[in-house]
Amino acid sequence: MKKIRTDIINLNKKVDLPMEVESFKGLFANSHDCVFTEVMINKELTVHLVFVDGLANCTNVMDFILKPLTTLEKFTNIKDEKKLIDVIKGGSLYYISVKETNDVNLAVELLLMGTAVLILKEAKIAFLFETRGFESRSIQVPTEETSLKGSKDAFVETLRTNTAMLRRKMRTPDLVIEELIVGKVSKTKVSVSYIDGIANDQLVKSLRERLKKIETDQVLFTTVIEEEIIDSQYTPFPQVEYTEKPDKFCSALLEGRIGIIIDGIPFTMIIPTSIVNFFQTTDDYSHNYIVVSIIRGIRYLLAAVALIVPAFYVAITSFHLEMIPEGLALSVISTEKGVPFPIFIECILLSIAFQTLIEAGARIWSSIGGMVSLVGALIVGEAAITANFISPGVVVVVAAAAIANYTIPNKDFAFAIWIWEIILILLSSVIGLYGMVIGIILLIHHWAQMEVMGEPYLAPFAATDGRNSKDAIIRSLFVFKKKESLDEQSKINE
């Protein structure tokens, strides 16, 4: 029996096991949460009920399966399994979902999802009852994507709860929710959601094929799926948009994009994505379009500040002092006296120090979290300047770039910008402004080469049809936004 169990779990192969309780006992011999119940019907017929305590609702198992089998008059007169099968098929067990099978592999798979398995040994079949009732977290307020005027609900770890939230927000049969099983051991349910008639059919087909080709033991983290479906592996820039908000997820579906929900993970994935998606928030559509357009412009500007300003400072102070006013040049020179490091080393070290503080603040115990900011400000600020480890000018420039970087809504994209900030600093330290310009050109070239599921990363700026360009930077009024009909979208799909 131990060898059979290894075949099923480790090799994920279909095995030919008889449909009897001994097969299940062999597979779950050391699992104390797997409950085996022998049920006597009319003192002559014995069947076995198997379920996993904690996954199945024990109250439902007792009230809708065990009690009827042992107390209802329809069952007390049964003397053979053939009659029992006919009575169950006739609906004498009033349960919402009953399935008959002779496949042990299917029975085991559903058993581990909360299904109760009623085994009939002589008939070599089992009835599967949908008895899921495991504990789950209730719907709560989003923790990462706060909203002033938007909805306050967030996805949870339970797949069916998440799909129900989608149905509540979009009551249309065009909302398609497909489900696949991914992971040889974890057998995780992965849901693919899209709007039929709006989403590109070829894109949906391509994603479905990529998910089916995934060869992995577990899907406990989103990156297991992400790394299998993205096109560009060697880049720090995110190619999948994550969200914990159902309204943002539904909005993406209405744009023709595809959503992925993984059972057990409260963050959902949206593809394809482009660079503009990482500068947009759900609040953009809850406020005045003029205000939002200004704020979006500021986000793009501050992203450029975070990327360029430190490298520009290194280039100017190291190679092009003649380009700045004499008074400012003398001030920079005086502040650099006594500092043991070149300016570009100062910038890199201080930038890493800021990221260290952010990481420490995210990982440290909540009871002493406030100490990180206090100690960090003292060490990185006054103490470092007083000890002549870092010049005041570098502190101002790097701090301004760090604050500007925090305004980027997407954390993954913000971190990728920080990596390229370091690259630009290094290039600027070699050939000044020319190095910075070369770095910017390389970055744009890198973006231009990237594709996500066949869609340009720089869309809509690099898209040939220019669709959705109106909502890239300036948020237009809803009444003036172009809304493609299903017929128009069908032509695009073709």
**What value does the mean pLDDT of the chain take?**
84
Does pLDDT of 313 surpass 50?
Answer: yes
- Decide if pLDDT at 22 tops 50: yes
For residue 442, pLDDT over 90 is answered with yes
What pLDDT is stored for residue 286 in this prediction?
81
pLDDT for position 470: 64
Note the pLDDT of residue 493. 52
The confidence score (pLDDT) of residue 376 equals 65
Q: What percent of the chain has pLDDT over 90?
A: 42
What string of DSSP letters covers 418-452? HHHHHHHHHHHHHHTHHHHHHHHHHHHHHHHH-EE
pLDDT in tens, 341-350: 888 998 999 8
pLDDT range class, residue 338, cuts 50, 70, 90:
confident
pLDDT computed for residue 8 by the predictor = 41
Kind of pairing between the strands at 98-101 and 115-120: unpaired
Q: Is the pLDDT of residue 122 over 90?
A: no
Residue 6 has pLDDT above 60, yes or no: no
Say if CB 105 and CB 117 are below 8 A apart.
no
Distances (CA, A) of 459 to 81, 174, 242, 308, 414: 63, 26, 18, 22, 19
372: pLDDT confidence band, cut at 50, 70 and 90? low
CA 480 to chain centre: 32
**To 10 degrees, what angle do helices 369-377 and 343-363 make?**
160
Give 42-64 pLDDT, tens digit per residue: 777 889 999 999 899 888 899 88
Where does residue 415 rank: exposed (0-12), middle (13-18), buried (19+ CB within 10 A)?
A: middle
- Is residue 117 within 8 Å of residue 50, measured between CB atoms? yes
Higher per-residue pLDDT: 457 or 379? 457
Average pLDDT over residues 4-21: 56
For 483, the 3-state DSSP assignment is coil
Residue 484's pLDDT is what?
A: 46
Q: 121-125, 158-162, 384-388: lowest mean pLDDT where?
A: 384-388
Do 480 and 247 touch, CB atoms closer than 8 A? no
User: What does the pLDDT read at residue 239?
Assistant: 94
What pLDDT does 9 receive? 41
Contact 422, 351 (CB under 8 A): yes
Q: pTM here? A: 0.82
pLDDT (mean) for 131-150: 82
